[in-house]
Amino acid sequence: CESAQHLLQIRVRERDAVMLALNEHAIFPGVHYRDNTDYRMYAFAQGTCPNAAAASQEIISLPMHLRMTKSDVDLISELVIKYAR
């Protein structure tokens, strides 16, 4: 199985703080994963998937687009390492 490579996701402990720090540098990561039990139709199963719940609080989708330069990648990498510690 190979990745479609349409998302570049990482897990960090303090997702929201890391995202805010990146935003201060005009870098705007996304959140593309939510635990299914967060949706109303599956709320009855809340608490049954602790790994999914944890992942949904930690996953960030990093910027990835055709106009990114190596400098962009280097900067994002450096900042993620700095703020995700």
For residues 20-30, average pLDDT:
97
* 4 pLDDT higher than 80: no
Which positions ≥6 away from 42 have C-beta within 8 Å? Answer: 36
pTM for the whole structure: 0.81
Domain coordinates in residue numbering, the chain: 8-83
Please report, for residues 4, 5, 16, 41, 60, the alpha-carbon distance to residue 1 in angstroms, rounded to integers and kept in the order given: 9, 12, 31, 30, 22
Encoding tokens for residue 85? 């510690």
Fold observed for domain 8-83: Aspartate Aminotransferase, domain 1 (3.90.1150)
Query: CA 44 to CA 55: how far, in whole Å?
Result: 19
pLDDT at 71: 97
pLDDT at 55: 94
* 14 pLDDT higher than 80: yes
